[in-house]
Structure 1
Amino acid sequence: MGADMPNPLDVVLGNILGSEQTRPDQKAVSFRIDFKNYVKLSALQSITPKGVSRNQLLNDLLAVALDQVESSLPDGASDAYGHALVENEEGLTMLLETEGHL
């Protein structure tokens, strides 16, 4: 990573914790992937064994990123996240039970 590029974990934590240093391109309503991240994803997919879909690779990468962010949250935010996690799991489980999909 170049010296002029912020640490991705710091960017995510800044966004979650309300830092002023958020990247404006990340405020879009729809999911978009930065060009550099897309290049990296494509490179990872090119060395991943056949049969592993891009969606599975993205899901695995997201799981790693979420684990890193969760373990880096300060105490107050970590507690709030724990409560929000329980509420969201309950709400999404109810939605799945009634709608059958998200």
Structure 2
Amino acid sequence: MKRHQNPVASALMAKRNIAPADRPRVKAECLQLLATLRLDRAQMQLISGFIDTYLRLNAKETEIFRAEIGSIEPEEREEVMQIVTSWMEEGIQQGL
């Protein structure tokens, strides 16, 4: 994956026409790119929400996505997991 310093690139990556088999990998790559940008919390939530909306994964894809995340370097994986955790926290808050 080519690294860009533009947060919009990460968001738009999620919107392009993606082959079904590539969806989990592309979502992981989007989040890896987003994690490298060091944006403030509001920007991060906005862009990660866009990615999550346009790359909703089914149960099988989610398993593959988790494996993709598990295969990245520990430091970067921690950053990506913070993004994913913020989605879960937001979902819990909306459920309450």
Which band: TM-score by shorter chain?
0.3 to 0.5
Which structure has greater helix proportion?
2
| Structure with more relative contact order (C-alpha pairs < 8 Å, separation 6 or more) | 2
TM-score, normalised by the number of residues in structure 1:
0.38
